[in-house]
Structure 1
Amino acid sequence: MSLNPKYNEFLKQDFDKMYEMGVDKVRELYVEMMKAGKRVHKQVGSVEDRIVKTSVRNTKIRIYTPEEKASDGVIIWMHGGGFVLGDIEHGDSTCRELCSRVKCLVISIEYGLCPPQRFPDPQEECYEIVKFVYQNAKNFDINSNKICVAGDSAGGTLTGSLCLMARDRQEFPIAFQMPVYACFDWNDMGERKSRRENGKGYRLTQYGIQWFVQFLYKDRIVDGNNELASPLLAKHFDRLPPALVITAEFDILRDENHDYAQALIDAGGEAEYVCYPGDLHGFLGFKQLGLESPDHCYDLMADRITKAFNKIK
């Protein structure tokens, strides 16, 4: 399928030019872009910000409570932005959509950005927040066995990382994972077809990814080859939570999302891979262009999360 023509005007921008600026300037520009794309938010029962002390830093979380609760599960969301950009506002629309559709608690994490943080700080910070939610399940009025971890782009990386950490450390269970156009292999320099086909001109570019990578690691060789940095480098994929893996046809990260889903299946796990035809990386944030795919995707997410929660007592 060809690219949805509703993206044509948006794609006239030179996205790589942004990365010629300093980090602080790019962050300011990114916030402006996010604000410009906002629509009317879905109404939820309440929204509350809290600070949770972790070993990395004092971490801000945002708790979304539905108007009418239909599930005692919880969705823990991690925003995108290449680990360098974004904040808790980045995922606000998605968290509201999920809260209103699944009718369960949603918690969004504002993990520390790189720089000044470096790998594995975001992974450890988010892991500790999930552990905190698990340990305080009664206070959150949730079932501690019904935890879904999810996120977009770098938040999708964190989703995969947390599932590996939870499996190996065995401190809490994860019932379901939902990475959305995630980066599962930060080392891919063009080996996968989508990296070559979609590497320039489709918003997230190969040049942009390499700009992000320069800020992620203390030691690019050692840290960059750690499975918690790039979950597709994991030695094995058995005993990981069932997954809904979402990507887009014109996403540079498309093929590694397919590879992640296939790795789960090959290891005997459950994974559903959904690639939205004609769409770009980050398409959930483009409802204002009149796209049908975001609402379809939110319905799909809600359906699969609800079914996963309903399997657990």
Structure 2
Amino acid sequence: MAMHPEIAKVLASLPAPPEGPLDPVAMRAAEEVQVPPMRERLPLHSVEDATAQTPTGEIPVRIYTPVDAEAYGLLVYFHGGAFFLGSLDTHDHVARSLAKETGCKVVSVGYRRAPEAAFPAGLQDCHAVVRWAAENGERLAWDGATLAIAGDSSGGTFVAAVAAMAHDEGFDRITHQVLFYPSLDLDFDVDRYASLRENAAGYGLETAGLKPFNAFYLESGADPADPLVSPIKRADLTGLPPALIVTAEYDPLRDEGERYGQRLKEAGVDATVSRYAGAGHGFVQHFSWIPAYHRVFEETAALLRSDS
């Protein structure tokens, strides 16, 4: 189908990006200005800013409790932003919707970002908070059953990498992984996946922008050949948690996400690949107010209920 008309209308209204090198500080400030005031946010039972005390340091987290209950499944969420953008605030609405629809207590991670924090700082923070959540189950009223991880775009990269790290160290408490239009191959060879050419321009995220947007991360020491940077390069995917991989029809990254899902299935992992028609990269963050795309949270909830 064609791109959803509401998305196409918004994209057509956007100004041309400024010329010259990307300015992380200015781009972050522009994002934060778009955060809606508290009175306009989805209400939940409670939302608490806290600090996770971990071996990698003190990591800011935001804990979303959907309803008053004795126990909850946990979902640890990693926001997107090409490893240098995004924050607890810019993705607050995503975490709220995940909490409401899944019924899980959501722990959103304010991980360190490039270029100020070199690789693997952000990844280490995400991994550490998952371990922290499991170790602080009593404080979080964890039900001891569901411990899911979810992330969008570069947050999806971290989801795949954290799942692999946990498996390799014998930490088997992660029950599900949810990847929203993940970036899984930071090689960016335009001939590697057909979607890099098919969706190269005109749909929001453009193929030509992938290298400059990810340069802060790669220049901080992230090697695209490293499976913790490009999880699709991991040779053995056996034993990883059940997965939901959400892709967008008009996303340059569509095919690498779908290929990763296929590889998980070939490795015996229970994996579902769900392509959202008419959508482009970033639709969970920017367009989940459209009912057809808000369904992504319901699909996530269905995955988490599937083994309960």
Q: TM-score, normalised by structure 1?
A: 0.90
Letter in 1 for 2:209: G
- Paired position in structure 1 for 2:202: 201
Which amino acid counterpart does residue 228 of structure 2 have in structure 1?
A: L
Per-residue CA deviations over 1:151-195 (Å, capped at 9, x if unaligned) read: 100110000001100100113421000000110111122121111
Give secondary structure in 2 for the equivalent of 1:8: helix
Distance 1:19 1:124, change over 3 A: farther
Report the Cα offset of residue 218 of structure 1: 5.1
Equivalent residue, structure 1, for 2:301: 302
What are the superposed Cα offsets for residues 177-225 of structure 1, whole Å, 9 maximum, x if unpaired? 00001101111221211111112221112232211222113576x7221
Q: Which residue of 2 aligns with 1:213?
A: 214
Aligned amino acid, residue 295 of structure 2: H
Rounded to whole Å, the distance in 2 between the matches of 1:250 and 1:259 is 16
Q: 2 CA distance for matches of 1:295 and 1:172?
A: 30
Distance 1:182 1:120 in 2: 18
SS of alignment partner, residue 179 of structure 2 = strand
Greater shift after overlay, 13-22 or 203-212?
13-22
The separation in 1 between residues aligned to 2:231 and 2:276, in whole angstroms, is 22
Q: Quick one: distance in 1 between partners of 2:22 and 2:219?
A: 22
TM normalised by structure 2 equals 0.92
Counterpart of 1:293 in structure 2 is 292
Aligned to 2:140: 140
Deviation at 1:15, TM superposition (A): 5.6
**Do 2:153 and 2:182's aligned partners in 1 also have CA atoms closer than 8 Å?**
yes
CA drift at 1:68? 3.5
Gap runs ≥5 in structure 2: none
Distance in 2 between the 1:218 and 1:208 partners?
16
| Residue 109 of structure 1: aligned partner | 109
Determine if the alignment matches structure 1 residue 11 to structure 2 residue 15. no
Q: Following superposition of structure 1 onto structure 2, how do residues 145-224 of structure 1 map, counting pairs within 5 Å?
A: 145-190=145-190, 191-217=192-218, 223-224=223-224
SS of the counterpart of 1:67? coil
- Paired residues in the alignment total 306
Residue by residue over 1:7-36, the C-alpha shift from the partner in whole angstroms, topping out at 9 and shown as x without a partner, is 22322235654774422112222323x427
Q: Which of structure 1's runs of 4+ aligned residues deviate more than 4 A?
A: 36-39
d(CA) in 1 for partners of 2:181 and 2:86?
A: 16
Q: C-alpha distance in 2, partners of 1:206/1:17?
A: 17
Asked if the contact 1:37/1:285 (under 8 Å) is kept, the reply is no
Equivalence for 1:244: 244
- Supply the AA of the counterpart residue of 2:303: R
Matched, 1:22 2:23: yes
* Matched AA of 1:195: L
Q: Taking structure 1 as reference, are residues 189 and 15 closer, same or farther at Cα in structure 2, changes over 3 Å only?
A: farther
Matches within 5 A, 1:86-101: 86-101=86-101
Deviation per CA, 1:119-169: give whole Å up to 9, x if none.
211111111111111111122111344210001001100000011001001
Deviates more, 1:37-46 or 1:137-146: 37-46
Aligned AA (1:215): F
Over aligned residue pairs, what C-alpha RMSD do you find?
Answer: 2.3
Is the alpha carbon distance of 1:257 and 1:242 closer, same or farther for their aligned partners in structure 2, counting shifts above 3 Å? same
Question: Identity across aligned pairs (percent)?
Answer: 29
1:294 deviates by: 2.4
Give the CA deviation at 1:115.
Answer: 1.0
User: Aligned equivalents of 2:126 and 2:218: distance in 1?
Assistant: 17
The answer to whether the Cα contact below 8 Å between 1:286 and 1:294 also exists between their aligned partners in 2 is: no
Partner of 1:261: 261
What is the one-letter code of the residue matched to 1:202?
Answer: Y
Change in CA separation of 1:271 and 1:92 when aligned onto 2, cut-off 3 Å? same
Query: Structure 1 pair 16/234, CA: closer, same or farther in 2 (3 Å)?
Result: farther
What whole-Å deviation, never above 9, does each CA across 1:99-126 have from its counterpart, x for those lacking one? 1222221100010110111221111111
